[in-house]
Structure 1
Amino acid sequence: MSLNRSSARTGTDNQLLIQTLTPAPRTPLLTLARRIAEAGCNLADARVSTLGSDTSLTLLATGAWDAVAKLESALTKLAREEELRLVHYRTGPREHHSHLLPYLIEVISADRPGILVKIIDFFDRRDIVIEQLSSLRYQAMQTGAEMFQAQITIGIPAQTHIAALRDDFLEFCDGLNLDAIMDPVKF
């Protein structure tokens, strides 16, 4: 499936976002990386994640307008031949928000339904952007307890009083019996 969200651009700032979901042993990462290179594009960013028994790929290819057009044609053909669930569409460069300060949140607790929803809601009510989020359930090796873990990168508006936000967040976590930290991203 192809969705075109932007018009032709000049230079190499043309970007194509590619997403696919496949059974884990059939991941098309190498095939897609080759198609990107063969079209004359660069693989600018890649995210691979196994969820359940499937693998999710999100790739960002960049290149000249004609190279990206060639890649779009190759992907449409590949999706038909390999019977892949593949979505691709043109996107643009990410906007930089220099007024947002990057912070990393880590939360660990006994697993209970709704924990992640409450954490997301906490930041949403304060207009804090979630840039990245990774969460999982696991069984503790030592005790066998069902556990929850989340790592969240947020963008805090520069005018926000960081110490007050940290205090509010840690108090919120204490109320839910969550072990949490909130530290600036250091790179």
Structure 2
Amino acid sequence: MSSQLVISAIAPDRPGIAHEIISLVTDCGCNITESKMKAMGNTFSLVLMAKGEWNALAKLEHILPNKASSLGMTTMMQRTGPTEPRKELPYRVKVIALDYPGISKDLTNFFADQKIEIQEMSCNTYPAVQTGAMIGSIKLTVGIPSGSSVSEIRERFNKFCAKTNLDGNMEPIAQ
């Protein structure tokens, strides 16, 4: 029976770092079923899920700390189980605004108050073309509980955006 292991890692960014960690996972006999990798500043970051037989994951858990240390990488690992079927309605949320400290906190607090799970979130900042002012762009995937009134949630979201001066929208994700 196969199991799953979530690995989180950061290291100084350099060419080949992604290949080295991916090679280690596959050389241990595991399959990468999901991953996110990104250079942030001069740091490489990754989160991945490896799937394999219990002995392949045990081998990976044993080898990874020493290999990570030799790469100057900090890692964390945790075993996980299969994802339970979701009964939520998947929605994509996009927000753009002048960047300010706390924009992500305000947005995540809104969804927490609504009892809506954030399944994925990415944030970026960039200078506006004409003014150079920093713009914040946030994209989320959320799960709206079945039985909830989507129109009421969307109305509360629109009021939240107006109150906090955010340009935001919520759209269903077609499966």
Partners of 1:19 and 1:34 in 2: CA distance:
16
- Output aligned runs, 1:14-53, within 5 Å: 14-25=3-14, 28-53=17-42
Structure 2: gaps of 5 or more residues: none
- The change in CA–CA distance for 1:89 and 1:107 in structure 2 (over 3 A counts) is same
Q: Please tell me whether residue 103 in structure 1 is matched to residue 88 in structure 2.
A: no
Alignment-mate amino acid for residue 20 of structure 2? T
- Output aligned runs, 1:40-79, within 5 Å: 40-79=29-68
For 1:35, what is the secondary structure of its paired residue?
Answer: helix
Residue 165 of structure 1 deviates from its aligned partner by 0.9
For 1:25, what is the secondary structure of its paired residue?
Answer: coil
Structure 1: gaps of 5 or more residues: 1-10
What's 1:112 paired with?
100
- The answer (yes or no) to whether the contact 2:118–2:141 under 8 Å persists in 1 is yes
Aligned CA RMSD, in angstroms, stands at 1.5
- Could you state the TM-score of these two structures normalised by the residue count of structure 2? 0.92
Partners of 2:12 and 2:25 in 1: CA distance:
21
What's 2:173 paired with?
185
Listed one character per residue, the Cα deviations across residues 11-35 of structure 1 (whole Å, up to 9, x for unaligned) are 12x1111111012226632111111
- Could you state the TM-score of these two structures normalised by the residue count of structure 1? 0.87
- Output aligned runs, 1:123-162, within 5 Å: 123-162=111-150
What's 1:7 paired with?
none
Q: Which of the numbers 140, 163, 166 marks the counterpart of 2:154?
A: 166
For 1:50, what is the secondary structure of its paired residue?
Answer: strand
